[in-house]
Amino acid sequence: MIAVLVALAIPLLTRGSYSRLLSVRWHYAPLLFAGLAIQIYLEYATIPREHWHDIGFGLLVASYVLILGFAARNFVLPGMGVVIIGIACNFTVILLNQGMPVKIPPEWQDQTWAQATVKHHPQQSDDKLRFLSDIIVLKEPYDTVLSFGDLILAVGLCDVAYHASRRPKRRTARGIDLTKPAATATAVPAGGPTGPAGAAARPG
């Protein structure tokens, strides 16, 4: 949410245009909304613990596939490649560990919001790619843990917002602005402007 808010502030901070940002044509937007809806459902719905690793994990994987599908379809937008890298980093760790390992400080152990869920679980010694898991601890006032994938994703979102809020650049070929009318060429006789003999042409 912080990354989204910062990305939305980019046009204001860089004198971009919100109208251009909002007029961007997004392809396959329903995939994004469906993926986010599944993740919100997993965050607040109560799924029996015995189904975390089948139904819950299946829904989590499906949400990432949908979000990655949306991002891949919009890859042509500047910055979207960075977004894909961030999402892919998190998705890889989740696939290998059936959830995102989280480094939980000792003082958070008893907090209800620090308990295991379908998507997150306390970091264990046998977790794979732990350096890509949630290991960046932000204490008060945030009280959250981030991964390097989250940071990459945040940078990508800001990059997308920045470029989407700018005026499109004119296409040029070899430095020539193609939006300008081409110069009119003047035909020159084969013998040059002074005639075949190099002398000025005389009336007959």
Average pLDDT over residues 164-189: 58
pLDDT bracket for residue 144 (50, 70, 90):
confident
Is 90 part of a structural domain of the chain? yes
The answer on pLDDT for 198 being more than 50 is no
Q: Are 140 and 64 in contact (CB under 8 A)?
A: no
Evaluated on CA atoms 7, 11, 16, 20, the torsion sign reads positive
Is 33 part of a structural domain of the chain? yes
The answer on pLDDT for 21 being more than 80 is yes
Q: What is the dihedral of CA 193, 198, 202, 204, to 10 degrees?
A: -100
Segment 110-138, tens digit of pLDDT: 887 788 899 999 999 999 999 999 999 98
Domain that residue 164 falls in: 2-168
Is 175 part of a structural domain of the chain? no
Is 183 part of a structural domain of the chain? no
DSSP assignment string, 52-111 = IIIIIHHHHHHHHHHHHHHHHHTTTSTTHHHHHHHHHHHHHHHHHHTSEEE---GGGTT-
Domain count, the chain: 1
Is 179 part of a structural domain of the chain? no
Is 189 part of a structural domain of the chain? no
